[in-house]
Amino acid sequence: MTPRVRRWRAVDLCGLTQVPCRYLFREYGEDDNAWKLVVTSPICELRPHGGQLLPELVTVKFADGTERPFNPNDQVETRPA
């Protein structure tokens, strides 16, 4: 049986309690080999640059130590680990 895949906007993952602590994550449309394990909640932040704030950014950190930035409205998918 295939685990249930859910689609989200990247920003919707920030601070959600209904998302398990450990889950697999990929950007919508990526291949099946793109799934990566997430063990912490994504971080949503406004970054300062030259005295102004850049648009909001969602950073996802993976169990292998890598991280990936997303725009808040980027479509992403999760499934149980």
User: How far is residue 22's CA from residue 63's CA, in Å, rounded to a whole number?
Assistant: 9
- For residue 36, tell me if it sits in a domain: yes
- Domain range for 60 is 6-80
Domain annotation covers residue 34 = yes
1 in a structural domain: no
18 in any annotated domain: yes
Q: Which of 48, 40, 53, 35 is nearest to 13 (CA)?
A: 40
How many CB atoms within 10 Å of residue 7? 10
What total number of domains does the chain contain? 1
Cβ-contact 38, 62 below 8 angstroms: yes
Query: pLDDT tens-digit profile of 4-33?
Result: 899 999 988 887 655 556 899 999 999 999
Q: What is the reported pTM?
A: 0.81
pLDDT score, position 52:
76
pLDDT digits (tens, 9 = 90+) for 34-62: 999 998 888 888 777 788 776 788 999 99
